[in-house]
Amino acid sequence: MASEGVLTAGLKFLLPFVPLILVGYYVYTAFQAWLRLRHIPGPFLGKFSYWFMIRTQASGKQHQRYRDADRKYGSVVRIGPNELTTSDPELIRRMSSARSTYKRSDWYLGMRVDPHADNILSELDVDTHDKRRAKMAGAYAGKENPQLEKDFDDQIVSWVNLIRTKYISKGESLKPMDIALQAQYFTLDVITSLAYGRAFGYLARDEDIYDYIKLADQFISTAAPIVGVAPVHTFLYRSGLIFKIAPSPADPTGFGRLMSEATTAVGARFQPDAKERHDMIGAFVRNGIPQKQIEAELLIQIIAGSDTTASAIRSTLLRLLTSPRVLSKLRAEIDAAVADGKASNPIQQKESKELPYLQAVVKEGLRFNPPFLGQVAKEVPPGGDTFNGIHLPAGTRIGHNVYALSRQPVFGADGDIFRPERWLEAEPDTRREMERTLDLIFGYGRWSCMGKNVAYLEMDKVYFELLRHFDFDIVNAEKPWKSQNFNIWLQHEFFVRVMERNVL
C-alpha cells in the first residue's frame, strides 16, 4: 500500500510537467526530422511538420501550390519532414525503372479502395506486384479481349444518341447539358463495361446510379489530406480506424455498392457452370488471379479508369471551346476525314492515329491538365542515393510533381498556354523528348499505369465523335465550370448549349 501511495504521489508531481514533456518531445523529433534533409530547400512548415502537405492537399489547389514550390525552390523540393517532391524527368525515371532499387513508399496504402485487399496500385511488395502485373497485362492491352474497341464504340454511340434525343437546343430554346457530368457517365459506362462485363447504364438512365459520383466527390475531397500524407493513413491502418470508416459492401450507395457489384460479378465467373468470356474478368480468371484479388482490381479500375479519363475529356473540351483557332483547325481535319471516307462511324483508333492535329490535341490536353496529380511517392533504398549532387537519405519519400513536370522547358516557353501546334512544330529529337516526358504523367517503368492504352483509346475517339456531330457553346463564359484538385480533379457545372451539325 505504501508503494502505491508513493506511485500516486509521483504521478501527481509529474502531471503538471506532462505538457512540457510533450512539447519537448515534439521539438526534439522535429529537430531530428529537419536535420536529415536540411540541405534540401522547401517551404518553412514542411521542414519540421506535415502541416504544409495537409494544407496543400486540403486546399483544392494542390497542383498550383506544388508548382509554386517548384518555381521557388527548384526541381527537388522538401515538402515534409521525410518528404520530397520532384519535377525532374530523369529522377522520376531513375526511381521507377525496371532495375531501380527504389520501391513504392507507404503513400500507396492510400490507394486501397477495399482496406482489406491490395490492388495493383497499392501493392508495395515488388515481386508480388511484378508477377500480378504480368498476369494482368494482356487484359489491359486488349490481347485477351477482342471486343475492347467495340465496347468503347457502343458507349460512344450511346452518348451521341443521348445528346441527340435530349439535349439539342434550337433557336431560342435552351436545353443546357452539364458536360462535366455527362463525361463521367460516359467513362463510367466504358469502364464498367470493361471491368464488370456490362455497362451500368449511366448514359441509358442519364443519372448518377448509386449516387457514386456525388459520394465519390465528397469522399475524395475529404480524404485528400489522408491519402496524400502517408503517415496519416499509416496511422489509420495501424490503429484499425480505417476498417471502421472505410466503405462496406453492405452500403446501398457509393463505393460500397460498387464493392457489392464486384463481388457478384466476379463470383459468377467462379461458379462450376460459368462459361468462359473474353473480357477483363475472363482474362484475369484465365491467368490465375484469385477471386478476392480480382474484386480489388475492379474497384480501383473505377477510380483510375473513370474519374481520371473524365477529367481529361472535360479539361480538353474546355480548352477547345475557349480556343476558336484550335477548334476551327480540329473541325476542319475532322470534316475532311469524314468527307474523304477516312473515318468510320464511330472512328476507329487506327484511323484517328492518322489525324495529326487530333493527336496533337490529345497530347496537349493531357499535358495541360494531367488527370492525376497524386505524389505516388517512392522510397530511397538502403544506403541512400545521390542525384545531381544532392544526397538523398535512405527511407526518404520522393513524390512526382506532375503539374510542374508538364510545364518543363522541353515543352517551350509558353507551357501555360494550350497550343497543340507545339507537337507538330518541334524538331524530331525535341518531339521525342516531349513525348517521353508526357508519358511520365502515367508513371514509368514497372510502376506505369496499366490503363494508359485504354485511356488513349477513349480520347482518340471521343473528341472526334463529339465534334463530328455537334456544335457546343459554353453557357456561362464568365464562369464556365467549378474545378478543384484533390489528387484527382473534381469538375462540376460545365454547362453547354448543344446544336446538331449538318455534316456527313
Q: Which residues are annotated as a binding site for heme?
A: 449
CB 504 within 8 A of CB 339: yes
For residue 409, count other CB atoms closer than 10 A to its CB.
7
Bridge partners (DSSP) listed for residue 84:
78, 398
Closest CA to 406 of 396, 395, 417: 417
Q: Report d(CA 138, CA 145) in Å as an integer.
A: 8
State CA 84 to chain mean position distance: 20
- Grid coordinates standing for 116? 482489406
Bridge partners (DSSP) listed for residue 483:
491
Q: Report d(CA 223, CA 416) in Å as an integer.
A: 29
Q: Report d(CA 374, CA 412) in Å as an integer.
A: 24
Peptide bond into 346 cis (omega under 30): yes
Q: Report d(CA 330, CA 328) in Å as an integer.
A: 6
Q: Report d(CA 199, CA 190) in Å as an integer.
A: 7
Closest CA to 88 of 451, 409, 456: 409
State CA 134 to chain mean position distance: 22
Closest CA to 115 of 269, 299, 254, 290: 299
DSSP assigned state of 338: H
- Grid coordinates standing for 104? 513504392
State CA 5 to chain mean position distance: 60
Q: Where are the beta strands (DSSP E) in 322-445?
A: 378-379, 385-387, 390-392, 397-400
The amino acid occupying position 166 is K
Q: Report d(CA 504, CA 500) in Å as an integer.
A: 12
- The backbone torsions φ and ψ at residue 321, rounded to the nearest 5 degrees and listed phi first, read -75, -15
The amino acid occupying position 180 is A
Closest CA to 152 of 451, 464, 454, 468: 454
Q: Which residues contribute to the annotated binding site?
A: 449
Name the strand (E) or helix (H) holding 310: helix 308-321
Bridge partners (DSSP) listed for residue 489:
485
